[in-house]
């Protein structure tokens, strides 16, 4: 698997995790992202520091 493909998949999992955060809370978002192999540091940053997130979909273009 190429880095580009991995990064696109990772971005999709992070986006879905953010959606889950808004609708189902941080615990569910964490579990989803962890189960999809999002690195722990990324999960922590996404959940704890929302101001540091990229704009939605920015990494998918």
Write the DSSP assignment of 4-52 as a string of letters.
HHHHHHHHHHHHHHHHHHHHH-HHHHHHHHHHTT--HHHHHHHHH-GGG
* Each residue's pLDDT tens digit, 2-45: 667 779 999 999 999 999 999 999 999 999 999 999 999 999 99
| pLDDT tier, 60 (very low <50, low <70, confident <90, very high otherwise) | very low
pLDDT of residue 52: 80
pTM for this model (two decimals): 0.78
Report whether 15 contacts 56 (CB < 8 A): yes
pLDDT of residue 6: 76
Q: Show me where the domains of the chain are located.
A: 3-51
């Amino acid at each position: 698997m190429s880095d580009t493909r991995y990064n696109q998949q990772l971005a999709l999992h992070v986006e879905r995790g953010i959606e889950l955060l808004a609708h189902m809370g941080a615990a569910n978002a964490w579990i989803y992202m962890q189960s999809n192999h999002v690195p722990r540091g990324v999960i922590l940053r996404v959940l704890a520091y929302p101001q540091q997130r990229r704009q939605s979909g920015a990494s998918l273009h």
